[in-house]
Structure 1
Amino acid sequence: MDLKEAFKLALQSLWANKLRTVLTLLGVMIGVASVIAVVTLVNGANAYVDQKLNTFGSDVFTVSKQPTAITSFEDYTKFQKRKNVQVDAYRWLVEQCHKCALIGVQQTTRGTVKFSTESVTDVALRGWTSGMPVLNNLDIAQGRTFTQSEEDHSAHVAIIGTDIQENLLKSEDPIGKEIRVDGVPYTVVGVGAKQGKTLGQSQDNWVAVPLPAFQRSYGLQKSVTIFLKARGGSGLAMQDAMEETRVLMRAFRHDIPGSDDDFNLDQNDAFATIMKQITGWFAAIAIPAAGISLVVGGIVIMNIMLVSVTERTREIGIRKALGARKKDVMAQFIIESALMSLVGGIIGVFGGVLVAYGVTIVAGFPANVAIWSILVGLFVSTVTGIFFGVYPARKAADLDPIVALRSDM
């Protein structure tokens, strides 16, 4: 029996028992779909982290009271005991850091923004120095950024994100319009370029005002984040600038020699690295769990193939009486089992991709289909069918043709 005939017989057998075939494949379909969905979402998250979270240039780093991401309550408690980073530290670095090309400050809170009778709540409010758009790698789509004079004189001017423009100002030209930020009037002078969403959260729902004006409304006591751009680009220049900044900050904050820093230096990829670790842990847990579904699906396939062998005992006997060899019978049942599992794998691939993109549509979580994951899913499902089909195939091949022909089945 040639391979083509074996595939034809296998397809006929599967088609003759459509409902049983579908029910048999559920385990394989769920397992493959789970793997594809997890890999697709993890790849999408990692790609999106690289694209969106690395918003600063490769030569920009920050000084702050605590790290961008905290992974334990003990660390959180330790960092909260630190002194706040204040604007006077920024002024000190501006004067003393010779390996820094540009330095800026950001202070944040959340509040309400109004225009006319419309309002938007839970807006990210930012107090910026004039160089922050450059340090944040932010393009100004309309208008302009702050001037140094506006910063020095606490001018009530604002740069807004596109969500504020679309939700509040709508079709009106935003430049020159007056908005109220927690009741304080500001004149819009610029609109930031659209940044989209990161892990389902909009990055365009913000308003930035000059830092002195921001601190008049929200106080001077909150900790700030200092952004620094290394002179001479990334690589060694970056490390030199960070080391100089560390020395200057320790001197400014009177850290005891030999003690830990009581501030944090972060490069732009710090949060990205943590996010990739989290997605890696997620994949490490979810993929083995999906593998259990494949094993269960394989066991179901083996049981159904054993039932099929019992149901087709006379057919096997007739084939062997007509000259079919053991390897022909084995090939027929192994191909049938592998084909059944492959079909489940194909359905699982489509199901996994649909689930991943469904999560993207509903929750805004990014998805990125990896071709290798599809190929691996199909390969694993086929191997599962072959592995669990060997025992039923061997049992069918070992049947005595005389005993098989006498069967009443």
Structure 2
Amino acid sequence: MPATPSTARAINDRLALRLLQQEGPLTAGQLKQLTGLSRPTVADLVERLTTSGLIAVVGEAGEQRRGPNAKLYGIVADRAYLAALDVRTEGLSVVVSDLLGRVLAEASVPIDGATGTGPAVEQAVALVERVAKEAGADRMHTVGIGAPGLIDPATGELRDSSGLPEWHRRLVAALQERLPDARVIVENETNLAALAEQRDGAARDRDTFVLLWLGHGTGAAVVLDGTLRRGASGGTGEIGFLPVPGTAGLPSATDCEGGFHSLAGAAAIARLAGEHGAVGSAEGGEPVAAALVRDAVAAVSSGVSDAAPFLDALADRLTVGVASVVAVLDPGCVVLGGEVGQAGGAVLAGRVEQRLRRMSPLATEVRAGVLGGGAVLRGALLIAGDRAQDELFAPPERP
């Protein structure tokens, strides 16, 4: 069934806007060349998008740099503003950007576990408002939030999870109340990290992979055939609860102690380092576990063999979890993400891949994540941008 004129216009508009987003400012002639559309069609869409306030003339190009053909058109980046939040058990980080994802302001605040729910929520919302003000963001269009815990696939809401602060769940409602015109989206932090590593990081060439999150806790995100898989209850990738050998017991429905978390969580890695005499110095708020791994990798890379037993023992532990995931999903690629995965780099990833080859007949490449803990904020900004652009890049159709 052929597209109606209004549908065709909407498709052409979105194509042009995506090109302007990816390539930067373009002339009408360049848009014609890249889209394959006719000159009159391009002229029509340029006029339509300019009138709607989505694009504007931002300069001129060409040797003469004058005349209508030399006009450079670009997306009006301040048409809308985006916010991204990385919600952790111990605090909050916020980034505010324009429509193109250019960061305008950012800040973090620690939130003590002893802080009451109400004061913690107020502290978090106040930080968002302060960063937005510093960015000059007077029109917050979309807020993307990355949080630990399960996201209900039916409602998109953060489910009540034991062990997580109550202010996490209250924060969404508070932000919606203080920013009534903004769209607020919540996603699991590990899922966001996977999206960021696929868009901008270690998995850019993969449409099927698993990201193993190694930070304060453990988690996994599953991307199959280009689609993030969440599961029936939103729990795909809760690898911290995976029963594994080498722990004192078994995990329970309310506590992952005894599961893979007991082998690969930050506290477990720090204990393992202590058992092998490894030491590390955290820098700039870097988690202790990541610092221990980073310093061990640096030592091994410098020819100091004393640090090798710690990395070998850690690789043994990680491979137990990775092999289990590979046996079920056969993803072909596993990315070691989070602060620890980034700190371990190719040295730790190579050790895990080497062990995996001995344990599994399924060919699997193990890579180190390149975005570290910042992947959550980047992923939250990406989903906020995608939502905003989906709405704004669909101009009202003419009758």
TM-score by length of 2: 0.24
Bigger-Rg structure (1/2) = 1
Higher relative contact order (CA 8 A, sep 6+): 1
Larger proportion of helix: 1
TM-score by length of 1: 0.24
